[in-house]
């Protein structure tokens, strides 16, 4: 139901699955394996895979900690979006890239749930995209807050719960699992 009536395609958006971002992430191995599965499924169907990599002072562009995890390797021609803010849409060429690919719907996976995944998901909806969050293919780390530690599992559960059936005029957010992703019923 995307607001982009001239963009019939869907893309898999892989957000910040980088060495430093996921070094201590909750269920790191399982989530990365799920992301690998999603990438394989998207490629097998000929759906675009778009990679996002964050850089900042502590994770400089091109550094070892900035690299994608070794389990994930973009193929030649797959777009790579460099970003400096939590939303993958802000001050990047993501929107232009998706428009050129005819993409009006996004399937989102990656890290960190409470930062870049959350802000990109909301920006995508604001910009007019339909969004599917893969509930078992995003992760984060435990988070220290004034009142104590917030567990990564709680953050992930909260994001999944708040994304379920979220909608804005003309676009929706749904959830899927890695096993169900890209299926006819999804």
42 contact partners, CB below 8 Å, separation of at least 6: 11, 12, 48, 49, 107, 182
Counting every residue written for the chain, the total comes to: 186
Q: Is the pLDDT score of 185 beyond 60?
A: no
What is the Cα–Cα distance from 65 to 20, expressed in whole angstroms? 5
Q: Show the domains of the chain with their CATH numbers.
A: 9-176 (3.40.50.850)
8 A C-beta contact, residue 111 and residue 117: yes
* Mean pLDDT, all residues of the chain: 95
Calculate the dihedral angle through the C-alpha atoms of 120, 122, 125, 129, rounding to the nearest 10 degrees.
Answer: 20
Residue 101's pLDDT is what?
Answer: 98
| pLDDT tens profile 23-52 | 999 999 999 999 999 999 999 999 999 999
| pLDDT tens profile 130-177 | 999 999 999 999 988 888 889 999 999 999 999 998 999 999 999 999
| pLDDT tens profile 97-113 | 999 999 999 999 999 99
């Amino acid at each position: 139901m995307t607001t982009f009536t001239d963009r019939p395609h869907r893309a898999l958006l892989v957000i910040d699955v980088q060495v430093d971002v996921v070094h201590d992430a909750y269920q790191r191995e399982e989530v990365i394996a799920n992301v690998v599965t999603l990438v394989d499924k998207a490629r097998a169907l000929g759906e675009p895979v778009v990679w996002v990599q964050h850089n900042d002072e502590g994770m400089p562009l091109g550094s070892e900690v900035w690299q994608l995890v070794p389990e994930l390797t973009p193929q030649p021609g797959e777009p790579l979006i460099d970003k400096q803010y939590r939303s993958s849409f802000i001050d990047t060429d993501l929107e232009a890239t998706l428009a050129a690919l005819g993409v009006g719907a996004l399937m989102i996976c990656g890290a960190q749930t409470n930062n870049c995944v959350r802000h990109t998901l909301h920006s995508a909806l604001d910009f007019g995209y339909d969004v599917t969050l893969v509930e078992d293919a995003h992760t984060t780390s435990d988070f220290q807050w004034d009142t104590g530690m917030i567990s990564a599992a709680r953050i992930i559960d909260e994001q999944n719960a708040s994304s379920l059936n979220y909608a804005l005029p003309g676009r929706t957010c749904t959830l899927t699992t890695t096993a169900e992703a890209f299926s006819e019923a999804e």
